[in-house]
């Protein structure tokens, strides 16, 4: 339970610190683009190594493929509705990316932490921090530039942090005996949402704001995620 609380604190803290940074701290567009690309690189690797590959080993290619397709379709639909209502540059897309892939991912994360040791917890917590902090900063900054008040933006990100924390706890408490096929669907749904968010939100924004350095940042993110994976 102590390890579970540590991971929950990281999930919540990364989003809240990132949102506060985007609202109140110095964050140039170039820095934001670099950080978002770095997070995208880390997610690009973790989608394959932590979500899709384990699901294919434990379940089947068909089940995993269905999960990926459902996650991508759901994210694309919600992202479209957010763009139509809020506008494509108001931070809603990044918020949707974090929430939609975060809920099933944290459900599976809670299960993975049952009986996990300190190295595994450190790797998982580091990956969450690496991906959530810059995305929350970028999303909050974009919302700040719209008509939303700073207090309203912080409440929105705090609610998101609470939902993701609850998902991790629920996964730890309720899905310990779930079938491998159900867990594969959950993991791959998250993977599909991540892939869609990378294609439509993360990498396009990173290139717009940091141009060609975004490619370097993406490679750095992949290397950091590889390093965190070696802690397991």
Q: Which two tokens stand for residue 113?
A: 């932490």
How far is Cα 169 from Cα 175, in angstroms, rounded to an integer?
10
pLDDT in tens, 147-158: 778 898 899 889
Give 169-188 as a DSSP string.
HHHHHHSTT--HHHHHHHHH
Say whether pLDDT at 228 is over 90.
no
- pLDDT tens column, 101-114: 678 767 777 776 76
The rounded mean pLDDT for the chain is 82
Kindly list the domain boundaries of the chain, sorted by start residue.
2-229
Instruction: Identify the DSSP state of 78.
Output: H
The CA–CA distances, whole Å, from 91 to 88, 124, 214 equal: 7, 25, 19
Give the integer Cα–Cα distance in Å for 214 and 134. 13
pTM, 2 dp? 0.80
């Amino acid at each position: 339970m102590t390890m579970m609380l540590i991971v929950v604190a990281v999930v919540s803290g990364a989003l809240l610190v990132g949102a506060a940074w985007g609202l109140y701290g110095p964050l140039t567009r170039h820095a934001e683009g670099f950080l978002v690309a770095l997070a995208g690189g880390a997610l690009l690797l973790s989608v394959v190594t932590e979500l899709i590959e384990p699901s294919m080993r434990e379940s089947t290619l068909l089940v995993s493929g269905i999960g990926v397709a459902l996650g991508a379709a759901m994210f694309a639909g919600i992202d479209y509705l957010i763009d139509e209502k809020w506008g494509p540059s108001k931070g809603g897309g990044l918020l949707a990316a974090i929430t939609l892939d975060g809920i099933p991912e944290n459900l599976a994360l809670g299960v993975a932490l049952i009986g996990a040791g300190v190295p595994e917890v450190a790797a998982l917590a580091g990956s969450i921090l690496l991906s959530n902090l810059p995305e929350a900063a970028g999303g909050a900054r974009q919302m700040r530039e719209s008509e939303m008040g700073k207090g309203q933006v912080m409440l929105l990100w705090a609610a998101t942090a609470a939902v993701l924390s609850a998902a991790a706890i629920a996964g730890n408490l309720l899905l310990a005996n779930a079938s491998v096929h159900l867990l594969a669907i959950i993991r791959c749904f998250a993977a599909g949402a991540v892939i869609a968010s990378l294609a439509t939100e993360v990498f396009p924004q990173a290139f717009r704001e940091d141009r060609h350095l975004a490619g370097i940042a993406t490679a750095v993110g992949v290397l950091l995620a590889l390093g965190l994976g070696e802690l397991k």
